[in-house]
Amino acid sequence: MHRQTHRIRALLPGLLALTLAGVPWAGSAWAAEQAVLNGPDGKVVNLTATMLAALPPTEATTAYRSSKGIEAGVYKGVLLWDLLQAEGILDQDHKTALRHVLLVTAGDGHQVAFSIGEIAPDFGNRPILLAYEMNGAPIPDGLRMVVPGDLRGARHIKDITTLDWR
């Protein structure tokens, strides 16, 4: 009896891992705490899986040119615009909102600036996505920018650590 209890105890971590793997997100290698959105007036938003899942999910298919050839993928995530709206980051006066950019930084230092005018539905209306899933599975190396229509890969930033509103 005692022996059996030990055996079950030894199996528990494995069982827990299996259970979690079946739960969307829980088994994801994405460490949510590592991604942060810095807004105006010192506002800091932790981009957790839970808060992103609460926003309308959006899908996008992209194919971009990289040094390895054409990289195609189906992505799921949230529109950058939706995220900024939900967090109240954008000024309601569009002329003020349009002064700003979102500087996106990756763990390796790769950085790209996106303008508010580019993603605003009334202006550039580009459906730029902060993606957490690729081809039906959580993206293992973290959140990724997806820029439908871009011919080259540079703005498809992987392993995003920071979004800075400037």
Ligand X SMILES: Nc1nc2c(c(=O)[nH]1)N[C@H]1C(S)=C(S)[C@@H](COP(=O)(O)O)O[C@H]1N2
Binding site for ligand X (CB under 6 A): 66, 68, 71, 106, 108, 110, 152-154, 156-159
- The residue at minimum Cβ distance from ligand X is 153
147 binds Mo ion (CB under 5 A): no
- Closest CB 68 distance from ligand X, rounded Å: 5
Buried b (16+ CB within 10 A) or exposed e, 132-151: bbbeeebbeebbbbbbeebe
CA–CA distance from 166 to each of 17, 38, 56, 137 (Å)?
Answer: 40, 9, 25, 32
Picked from Mo ion, ligand X, none, the partner binding residue 59 (CB below 5 to 8 A depending on kind) is none
According to DSSP, residue 146 is labeled E
- Closest CB 154 distance from ligand X, rounded Å: 4
- How far the first Cα of the chain sits from its last, in Å, is 63
Contact set for Mo ion, span 75-104 (CB under 5 A) = none
Nearest residue (CB) to ligand X, 20 versus 141: 141
Q: Which of these segments, 30-38, 77-85, 126-134, 150-158, binds Mo ion (CB under 5 A)? A: 150-158
